[in-house]
Amino acid sequence: MPDDNGLLSSAEKERVIAWMQKHETGEFVCPVCKKKDWLIGDHLVQPITLGQKGSVQFGGIGYPQVMFVSVPCGLTIFMNAVIMGILPGSANREGEKAAAVAQPEEKANG
Tens digit of pLDDT for each residue in 60-100?
778 899 999 999 999 999 999 999 989 888 655 444 445 56
Gap between the Cα atoms of 56 and 95, Å rounded? 28
Taking 50 as the threshold, does the pLDDT of residue 35 lie above it?
yes
The tally of CA atoms less than 13 A away on the side-chain side of residue 17 is: 11
Taking 70 as the threshold, does the pLDDT of residue 108 lie above it?
no
Q: Give pLDDT, residue 3.
A: 78
Q: Give pLDDT, residue 5.
A: 78
Q: Give pLDDT, residue 78.
A: 96
Q: Which has the minimum average pLDDT: 6-10, 39-43, 91-95?
A: 91-95
Q: Give pLDDT, residue 104.
A: 56
Contact 64, 80 (CB under 8 A): yes
Q: Which has the minimum average pLDDT: 10-14, 29-33, 90-94?
A: 90-94
Q: Please work out, in degrees rounded to the nearest 5, the angle formed at the alpha carbon of residue 17 by the alpha carbons of 71 and 63.
A: 85
DSSP state of 54: G
Cα 86 to its chain centre, rounded Å, is: 8
76-80 vs 56-57, strand pairing mode: unpaired
